Amino acid sequence: MLSASSAERFWHLPVDAARHGPAMDAHLLLNLWIALGLIALAHLILFSGLIFRRRASQPVHILVLEYLPLSALTLLFAALGVRSEQLWAAQRYTGADPAAMQVEVTGAQFVWTFRYPGADAAFGETKPMLIAPAAGNSLGIDFTDPHAADDIVTSQLVLPAGREVDLTLRSLDVIHGFAVPEMRLKQNAVPGQTSHIHFTPETPGEYAILCTQVCGTGHYRMQAVMRVLPADEFDEWLRMRELRR
Ligand SMILES: [Cu+2]
């Protein structure tokens, strides 16, 4: 079996920049190898049937011909499905570490906006009637809420490498798909509800955040940048943002 990095090159996968990535890639490759093996086996059976024809007086028992292969395939696909579910649930349903960094991600036609809770580690309240992009409040933050005073709103998602991040996804209008291929992340932002997804970025660099739901005429340009910085550079960036606020 290929190692993770040579597998990336061989299968043209994007680089793995998050901690959970290699396990997902290994599972994807396992699926592909199994599919390849089954295709080869199916053709082998097909051609052997053509070459070694049996007479009608010696029928193969239905148990051997149908029920055994069918049960084996059912077990195989159930096992693969359960493993996929575990990998996905680890990001989505198993709660993030309480010490994970909190960032809110809001999708709106056709921009992503990011919010950090600031020193008090709590987001200020938002209200739909306060949304006023022209006045610089595209998220509708209620500034009478004391928690809102130190919130930081950005157009780039800047994260420290090696620390777990818990993203809270929201949408202001239609369903948007938050996706970062290098982080092996994909989760819908659905209006009227908040969704969580957590992960640990490992490799510093710049990665494209895409929208994977056709959310309107400007869908093609709904992109943002995720910038992963070494921990000390991130602290400096956050300090500068706090000063600028
Ligand atoms: Cu979108």
Same domain, 176 and 71: no
Same domain, 80 and 113: no
Query: Can you read off the two tokens belonging to residue 54?
Result: 């049996």
Same domain, 21 and 111: no
- Span from the CA of 171 to the centroid of ligand 1 (angstroms): 9
- Return the closest-CA partner of residue 83 out of 7, 33, 23: 23
Q: 182-214: per-residue pLDDT in tens?
A: 999 999 999 999 999 999 999 999 999 999 999
Q: Would the pLDDT of 62 be above 50?
A: yes
Mean pLDDT lowest among 7-16, 37-46, 93-102 = 7-16
Q: Number of folded domains in the chain?
A: 2
- Span from the CA of 109 to the centroid of ligand 1 (angstroms): 6
- Span from the CA of 213 to the centroid of ligand 1 (angstroms): 6
- Span from the CA of 204 to the centroid of ligand 1 (angstroms): 25
Same domain, 186 and 120: yes
Q: Would the pLDDT of 139 be above 70?
A: yes
Same domain, 139 and 198: yes
Same domain, 233 and 121: yes
Q: Please indicate whether residue 245 or residue 192 has the higher confidence score (pLDDT).
A: 192
- Span from the CA of 176 to the centroid of ligand 1 (angstroms): 4
Pick the last residue of a domain from 57, 92, 127. Answer: 92
The whole-number pLDDT of residue 181 equals: 94
Q: Please indicate whether residue 69 or residue 210 has the higher confidence score (pLDDT).
A: 210
- Span from the CA of 197 to the centroid of ligand 1 (angstroms): 17
- Span from the CA of 142 to the centroid of ligand 1 (angstroms): 25
For the segment 149-155, the average pLDDT, to the nearest whole number, is 91
Residues near 182 by Cβ (< 8 Å), separated by ≥ 6?
14, 15, 16, 17, 18, 21, 205, 207
Report residue 41's pLDDT band, with 50, 70 and 90 as the boundaries: very high
Task: Quote the DSSP letter at residue 56.
Answer: T
Report residue 49's pLDDT band, with 50, 70 and 90 as the boundaries: confident
Mean pLDDT lowest among 53-57, 58-62, 159-163 = 53-57
Q: Would the pLDDT of 2 be above 60?
A: no
- Span from the CA of 15 to the centroid of ligand 1 (angstroms): 24
The whole-number pLDDT of residue 1 equals: 44
The whole-number pLDDT of residue 54 equals: 65
Same domain, 229 and 138: yes
Q: Would the pLDDT of 56 be above 70?
A: no
Q: Would the pLDDT of 231 be above 80?
A: yes
Strand order of the β-sheet with 224-229 is 157-160, 224-229, 205-211, 176-180, 185-189
The whole-number pLDDT of residue 91 equals: 79
Report residue 170's pLDDT band, with 50, 70 and 90 as the boundaries: very high
Same domain, 36 and 123: no
Same domain, 8 and 121: no
Report residue 3's pLDDT band, with 50, 70 and 90 as the boundaries: low
Pick the last residue of a domain from 45, 68, 92. Answer: 92
Pick the last residue of a domain from 92, 116, 136. Answer: 92
| Structural domain boundaries, residue 71 | 4-92
> Angle at Cα 102 formed by Cα 205 and Cα 160, nearest 5°?
25
The whole-number pLDDT of residue 5 equals: 62
- Span from the CA of 21 to the centroid of ligand 1 (angstroms): 24
Q: Would the pLDDT of 4 be above 80?
A: no
For the segment 149-175, the average pLDDT, to the nearest whole number, is 94
Residues near 19 by Cβ (< 8 Å), separated by ≥ 6?
199, 200, 201, 202
Same domain, 86 and 108: no
Same domain, 75 and 186: no
User: What size, in residues, is the chain?
Assistant: 245
- Span from the CA of 128 to the centroid of ligand 1 (angstroms): 19
Same domain, 86 and 113: no
Return the CATH number at 129: 2.60.40.420
- Span from the CA of 180 to the centroid of ligand 1 (angstroms): 13
Q: 85-138: per-residue pLDDT in tens?
A: 998 888 788 888 888 999 999 999 999 999 999 888 889 999 988 988 888 888
- Span from the CA of 221 to the centroid of ligand 1 (angstroms): 9
